[in-house]
Amino acid sequence: MQISFLRQKLIGPMALSFVTGISACSEPSTEQMSAATESSISDIVTDLAPAKEVQIRWTDYGIPHIKANSWEGLGYGFAHASASNTICVLAREFVTVRGEQAKYFGATDANINQDAFHRALLNQNKLEEYLAYGSADSKAMDLGYVRGYNDYIERHRGRMPASCNNAPWLTQINESDLARINIGVGIRYGLGRVTNEIATSGPGLELAQLQPLDLEVDRNMIGSNALGFGGALTESGRGVLMGNPHYPWHGPSRFHMAHLTYPGELDVMGVALITTSRIAIGFTEHVAWSHTVSTALRFTMFQLDLVPDNPMAYRLGDDVHNIEVIGVEVETPDGVATRSVHMTHLGPVVTGQGMPWTDKHVYVMRDVNYENYRSGDQYRDISQARNVEELRTALATHQGAAFVNTIAADRDGGALYADMSAIPNVSAELLARCAIDTGNPRIITLNGSDPSCDWQVDPGAAYPGLMPPAEQPSLITDTYVSNSNDSYWLSNPNTRLEGFSPIIGNEQTTRSLRTRAGLVMVEEVIDSGEKFTQDKVKALLFNHRHYGAELLLDEILEVCEGQTKLEEACTILANWDRRQDIDSVGAHIFNRFWENARGLSEHFAIPFDLDDPVNTPSGLTIENEETQKLVISALESGITSLQEAGIPLDAPWGDVQFAIRNGEKIGIPGGAGGQGLFSVITARFNAENGGYNPIIHGNSYIQTVTWNENGTPDADAILTYSQSPEPDSSYYSDLTKVYSQSNWIDLPFTDDQIQEQLVREENLQF
């Protein structure tokens, strides 16, 4: 056997001596050696590569397949590959969590407050707690990630994308920076919502000086669908998963595809957020899973009783505690700006409208993810699970999922729904006893001066203050599970999950049109007597059906009759296919109607029925004059807005909703989840841009996964906005064009599949 000098240099003497050692124990025959192919030799060399070598095989569409023989090597390759496609966005986010926005991007109040927030909360003590937690495996992978990121920067200085090439803020990182970004991602929808109100907190501020509290997450801007089918409903008897997270199309919350292999330890493919260092949604040879944003609250407010005549001290039972003042200096181009952040044993003080700092009370926030150090080990265990039971055990063991449900399927035919995540341990009893009415029913505020009103500590939880997994909703079945951002209640309508704390979500209430659309489409297949296949599951999403139109359009058309001004538009609507594919004509008329028909839900003819929650409410009270006026007015306003924007009433949807990539207009299918689109794309109507543009949010990484007879994953997927956010990248719009046509790509998982799509290969020493 001959190995080239280049290959010898790449694998190093350690691997060659290892090969020699094996040969000495079991010498292969001449016939065996001569029969070996070059590809099999390459596989042997790869498997025996030294721990300090990382192989990255790049396949079509800029997808990296990282293989290493150590956790550190895996982290190294993951960072290198992620930076290859996303370095500018990733580096920009490190600036944010280090508190350097004002330094590099201007001394605005928003930048200074954000910097003060991150510097105060992501302090050295907090970082040391994070770095001390976790397993040796997780720490090694993080260390490798830092080295891989830094080496990428050094290797590519002066050759970065135009948006950050030679930028002064593109700097190396350390392990503390990685801890900062990991905590920062977790608190984005809790503490991260009130950065200004934390950085500008103080006693005695006048009401006019206080900013409105914005603590409610816009469910139209984060979301997801997921369906897991068990063997009782699938043609193959194996599980099928469809994961469809709805996430931003721009910025650090974009997904990036990758495949990680550590032989004997890990083999997982899927996506991470640009800013995270683990595969968060994906599949293995055993399981596939996805996440949807959960209804569970991840924080509570606390009202603290202040000591009379001392606004800097508060009562905790019979004790008195001082409010800690953290002075923060923020570097700006003009010098140093200062802010004061106020901390208590529960968390930072938040001062805003409805929650002022008076002479009697102060309000603080405790965020469950500010104490979440467990996600790295959780995702390792998820990726090593052999079935949905083991996956649920991984969730229960770590409870490291920050704000999401988990929906999964396995090759044995099991399906899982679970919200075993980081949720404060606040029971219905505690709420009844401790909740304080602040005038905002959507924010839970507890009596912080009563120690018994703090989050309860349960020995069954993964961390003090978490709700134990035994009190969190989950379901394993051989039929199906689902979630579309409503609560756990109707994950499977035939097995309703009930009796959980209100902090997780509501029960026995109206579901969203998007939730109902998904359940209706699933039940249609079941009622037909057919079994689910991967293609049928894919069609559930890419039929782009408009469930709101299916429910209401016939009655709207009845109102149209005799309305001369509406005749052309209503004729087009009558011929519309009630979908939002790029070729659908009439979808934009209905969208503009819906957006103008505020209060339409108050005109349903059939109210919500607890015995039929999937199909109710429905119909319109078109015999009611007020309903008729609303319909006519909304149609007229919608038509006028389209005409003023110069958009023909018979334009196909892809001409009205689109992305622009390097000057090219790409039609985008899908639409508003609030209207009942299961295939979600969020874009505000912009007359100046000629329609629904730019795309803000929606379908992102979509995967449908099952397994072949030999157990190999069969994964079809799409990353709607493509792998790279950089206009000068080859992978800026290629997948977006595939998505435009409602097509999928086959994800290569095995070595043979990777070889078929191989574009280039990197062998890195670290």
- In which residue are the tokens 């469950």 written? 368
φ and ψ of 160, to 5 deg: -85, 170
- Whole-number CA gyration radius for the chain: 28
CA dist., res. 456 & res. 2, Å (int): 66
DSSP string, 80-147: HHHHHHHHHHHHHHHHHHHT-HHHHH---HHHHHHHHHHHHHS-HHHHHHHHHSS-HHHHHHHHHHHH
| Residues contacting residue 766 through CB under 8 Å, at least 6 positions apart | 52, 53, 54, 72, 73, 76, 144, 147, 148, 151
- State in Å, rounded, how far the first CA of the chain is from the last one: 28
For 185, 297, 401, 476, the CA distances from 293, given in Å and listed in that order, are 14, 11, 10, 19
Residue type, 735: L
Of 430, 431, 403, which is closest to residue 419 (Cα–Cα)?
403
198 and 350 Cβ atoms separated by less than 8 Å:
yes
At residue 299, the 3 state secondary structure works out as: strand
Helical (H) or strand (E) element with 231 = none
**Which pair of structure tokens corresponds to residue 153?**
């920067």
CA dist., res. 719 & res. 374, Å (int): 27
242-258 burial: b if 16+ Cβ within 10 Å, else e = bbbbbbbbeebbbbbbb
224 flagged as catalytic:
yes
**Which pair of structure tokens corresponds to residue 243?**
């994961």
| Range 714-717, long-range pairs (CB < 8 A, 24+ positions) | 714/534, 715/269, 715/283, 715/288, 715/746, 715/747, 715/749, 716/534, 716/538, 716/744, 716/745, 716/746, 716/747, 717/257, 717/744, 717/745, 717/747
The residue annotated as part of the active site, out of 82, 84, 224, 421, is 224
| Residues contacting residue 663 through CB under 8 Å, at least 6 positions apart | none
CA dist., res. 122 & res. 223, Å (int): 27
| Residues contacting residue 273 through CB under 8 Å, at least 6 positions apart | 185, 252, 253, 254, 255, 256, 280
CA dist., res. 567 & res. 564, Å (int): 5
Our measurement of the distance from residue 278's CA atom to the centroid of its chain's CA atoms, rounded to an integer in Å, reads 13
Length of the chain: 766
Beta bridge partners of 717: 703, 745
732 and 663 Cβ atoms separated by less than 8 Å:
no
Q: Which segments of 323-462 are extended strands (E)?
A: 324-332, 335-343, 361-367, 404-410, 415-418, 445-447
At residue 60, the 3 state secondary structure works out as: helix
Of 93, 358, 342, which is closest to residue 197 (Cα–Cα)?
342
At residue 736, the 3 state secondary structure works out as: helix
- Within 10 A of 175 (CB to CB), how many other CB atoms are there? 16
713 and 285 Cβ atoms separated by less than 8 Å:
yes
Peptide bond just before 727 cis, omega within 30 deg: no
φ and ψ of 548, to 5 deg: -60, -40
DSSP string, 460-518: TSSSTTBPPGGGS-EEEESSEEEESSS-GGGSSTTS------TTT---SSPPPHHHHHH
φ and ψ of 632, to 5 deg: -65, -45
| Residues belonging to the active site | 224
